[in-house]
Chain A
Amino acid sequence: MDGSLRVLPGGKYTVHEIETASGTKIREYVSTGGNIFAVLWDGPVMPDLRQILGNYFERYTAATSAGQAGRRQIEVREPDLVVQARGHMRAFSGKAYLPQALPDGVTPDELR
């Protein structure tokens, strides 16, 4: 992913902050074992979710495929995948995480 990277080390995980050329900020949460278990984004355009979600991308897109007229948010909530996306052009934000891969003691709410 293009952009500038800032690494914020922590006890239970490390945060990689990336600002893309489009101005959208992405935060990757990496476990001590090196696995990315959550990604947040915030900015004027949507990030590359195909790259961010990897193997989960097709499941996310399939979950968006019906009954979405009049909606400006998506929530996919499955046992092994949660994606929350909201906003509009100029102000998109969202969070994706793998509930079964959260490090011990880490709650989804603290990922912000």
Chain B
Amino acid sequence: MSKSALITSLTVSLLVCACGGGGGDSAPVSVPNAQALFVGPGPANNVNLLFTTVEICTPGSASACQSIDHVLVDTGSSGLRILASVVDPSLSLPQQTGASGRPLVECGQFVVGFVWGPVKIADVRIAQELARSTPIQLIADPAFPLVPANCSSMGGTALNTAELIGANGVLGVSMFAQDCGATCEGITSPGVYFECAGSSCQATPASLAQQLQNPVTLFTQNNNGVVIDLPSVAPGGARTVTGSLIFGIGTQGNNAMGSAQVIRVNPTNGVFTTVLNNTSYGNSFIDSGSNALYFGNPGIPACSNPDFFCPGATQILSATLHGTSGSASVNFSVANAEALFSNNPGFFAFSDLAGPNASDTFDWGLPFFFGRKVFIAIAGQDTPAGVGPYVAF
């Protein structure tokens, strides 16, 4: 945790400046819209996890606030989720209620498992952007200790500690305004949203407004998407990496699109197609929350730890991303993961780390982001390249 002190102090100093402007000028003030990003040591010391710091406040309060470090920046999900154990109870965040007026509790689904906990209302501040009265999730809140069978039936692990999540929370800044969307306006099975009366929780429909919200869409400006700007990482990796999470697309000098190529994605689920060596991966997605490039490729041997690839020599590859419109080629490398780890002890960032996946899936994880400005445009939001959702780089 002590490693986050630098980011925390940056945040505080920016906040001190937030009162600036002055002079009685009614022209819009350009507020700093960039937050520091960090790849490095974390609660579980995983490699290639992208962290930032987020401030949450009691709604409407300028002082009842807490800065949360080591929050995973995830373009593969939407909404802010924080472990209840790291949140100061004195914030007394209001409970979101469901259609029947009872507490709304979520079983957030990740493929490796679920995050169970109540939906609370908080003001969320990142850089100087403020999302007021935002539904967020507190994970593993002891007020709701029992995970319903209709939640755990999705399979996988109860992700209820910083070690299991690899972070103190997850900041979901995907291409969608809600985490679940129209599907959860009806009851799902397994359940995603629940209403709880005491320890009895029933799956419930949740309106779009009741669901977890991508905080970016609730900012008053710079709210049409995000830019993740990370430096390149040399073969062999880097001890740590710093970069920026920039809010807005084409709204400020620091988020101009320039010559970025636009890949428009499936508007309901965000996927597109990747082609590599004549193999087509129809289930492709850009995901800063994945710590490697994960794709099906029986031609590259897996390591003895089958999570990663271990080719005899580094493979230099080129793939083409095809959206519903737009395409772009991407060059990347797959190194021997065991050699990467053993030759570079204490390194946390690797640009050439990859591993196997299902034959139709290409998960462009964090290595894709190194050396790029990646634009994530939110569905329905206008940008200089048209309405989202899309990814551009």
Contact A68 B157 (CB under 8 A): yes
Name which of A6-14, A44-52, A99-107 contacts chain B.
A44-52
In the complex, chain B residues whose CB is within 8 Å of the CB of A35:
none
Contact B183 A90 (CB under 8 A): yes
Residue in contact with B187 in the complex, picked from A21, A57, A88, CB distance below 8 Å: A21
In the bound complex, what is the Cα–Cα distance between A54 and B2 (angstroms)? 45
Contact A93 B283 (CB under 8 A): yes
In the bound complex, what is the Cα–Cα distance between A1 and B264 (angstroms)? 35
Contact A68 B112 (CB under 8 A): yes
Which residue of chain B has the shortest Cβ distance to A58 in the bound complex? B155
Minimum CB–CB distance from A53 to chain B (whole Å) comes to 7
In the bound complex, what is the Cα–Cα distance between A95 and B361 (angstroms)? 13
Range of interface residues on chain B? Answer: 35 or more
Given A73-B294, A75-B356, A88-B76, also A61-B363 (CB < 8 A): no
In the complex, chain B residues whose CB is within 8 Å of the CB of A91:
269-271, 283, 285
In the complex, chain B residues whose CB is within 8 Å of the CB of A74:
111-112, 156
In the complex, chain A residues whose CB is within 8 Å of the CB of B165:
69
Is A31 interfacial (CB-CB < 8 Å)?
Answer: no
Q: What 1/0 flags go to A60-90 for Cβ under 8 Å of B?
A: 1100110111111111010000001111111
Contact A70 B49 (CB under 8 A): yes
In the bound complex, what is the Cα–Cα distance between A54 and B370 (angstroms)? 42
Minimum CB–CB distance from A60 to chain B (whole Å) comes to 6
Contact B157 A72 (CB under 8 A): no
Contact B156 A61 (CB under 8 A): yes
Minimum CB–CB distance from B13 to chain A (whole Å) comes to 30
Is B213 interfacial (CB-CB < 8 Å)?
Answer: no
Given A87-B283, A91-B285, also A61-B157 (CB < 8 A): yes
Q: Using a Cβ–Cβ cut-off of 8 Å, how many residues does chain A contribute to the interface with B?
A: 43
Is B46 interfacial (CB-CB < 8 Å)?
Answer: yes
- For A22, A60, A74, which residue has the most chain B Cβ atoms within 10 angstroms? A22
Contact B189 A48 (CB under 8 A): yes
Give B39-93 interface residues, CB cut-off 8 Å to A.
Answer: 44, 46-49, 76-78
In the complex, chain B residues whose CB is within 8 Å of the CB of A67:
307
In the complex, chain A residues whose CB is within 8 Å of the CB of B283:
86-87, 91, 93
Residue in contact with A23 in the complex, picked from B152, B183, B360, CB distance below 8 Å: B183
Which residue of chain A has the shortest Cβ distance to B212 in the bound complex? A89
Residue in contact with A46 in the complex, picked from B48, B164, B190, B306, CB distance below 8 Å: B190
In the complex, chain A residues whose CB is within 8 Å of the CB of B113:
64, 68
**17 cross-chain CB contacts under 8 A:** A22-B188, A44-B180, A44-B268, A65-B157, A70-B166, A74-B112, A75-B356, A86-B111, A86-B358, A89-B108, A89-B109, A89-B179, A90-B183, A90-B268, A90-B270, A92-B111, A93-B361
List 7 additional contacts besides A44-B269, A73-B357, A91-B270; criterion CB under 8 Å.
Answer: A22-B188, A48-B189, A72-B76, A85-B111, A88-B76, A89-B110, A91-B271
- The list of the 6 closest CB pairs from A to B, nearest first, reads A69-B166, A70-B291, A49-B155, A46-B154, A91-B269, A68-B112
